[in-house]
């Protein structure tokens, strides 16, 4: 009789291990199906996308290739590290940004004026205090100021947008 009790305990232990494995496989399978469904819905091609591109093309008159991308060419700057305009110089800003340009021809212009553009941006960044850049509104104002200054250097309409890729204040 003692042998039977031991066998029953072993048998129930195996069943619970099998149940855990089945549950784990079921959860993984459900996650995979959910992910596949999400990917399908996000990236499916349909007439709605084509109609949107055609509509945008009619409204703005831009080429279809620019409308599909949705953005102009992007020019990336190397990381900026500047001291903020704080008493004692105890805070600094580390910033990596990219600028969306109006057209591809401007890429060469930006590369040729890289030093001038970096200097102007460093002057803007180092004139800011922590209070100027800590809020979302402050960051948006900083983007607008950079956009205005770069457009003054390169030409009006050159910069479409400014994107902060990395923004750390310490």
Task: Report the 10 Å Cβ neighbour count for 154.
Answer: 20
pLDDT per residue rounded down to tens, the chain (170 residues): 455 444 444 455 555 677 788 888 888 877 778 777 666 666 664 444 454 445 444 434 433 334 345 779 999 999 999 999 998 878 999 999 999 999 999 999 999 999 999 999 999 999 999 999 999 999 999 999 999 999 999 988 899 999 999 999 99
Contact (Cβ atoms closer than 8 angstroms) between residue 99 and residue 150: yes
CATH of domain 70-169: 3.30.479.30
CA dihedral 104, 108, 118, 149 (to 10 degrees): -50
What the block records as the tokens of 66 is 């620019």
Mapped onto helix, strand or coil, the DSSP state of residue 170 is coil
Contact (Cβ atoms closer than 8 angstroms) between residue 124 and residue 146: yes
Domain ranges of the chain: 2-67, 70-169
């Amino acid at each position: 009789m003692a042998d039977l009790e031991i066998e029953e305990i072993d048998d129930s232990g195996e069943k619970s291990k099998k149940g855990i494995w089945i549950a784990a496989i079921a959860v993984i399978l459900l996650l995979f199906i959910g992910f596949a469904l999400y990917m399908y819905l996000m990236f499916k091609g349909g007439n709605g996308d084509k109609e949107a591109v055609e509509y945008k093309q009619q409204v703005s008159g831009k080429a279809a290739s620019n409308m599909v991308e949705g953005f102009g060419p992007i020019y990336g700057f190397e990381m900026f590290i500047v001291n903020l305009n704080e008493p004692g110089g105890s805070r600094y800003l580390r910033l990596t940004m990219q600028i969306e340009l109006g057209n591809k021809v401007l890429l060469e212009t930006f590369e040729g004026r890289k030093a001038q553009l970096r200097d102007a941006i460093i002057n803007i960044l180092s004139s800011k205090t922590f209070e100027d850049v800590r809020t979302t509104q402050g960051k948006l104002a900083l983007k607008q100021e950079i956009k205005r200054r770069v457009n003054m250097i390169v030409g009006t309409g050159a910069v479409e947008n400014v994107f902060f890729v990395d923004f750390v204040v310490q």
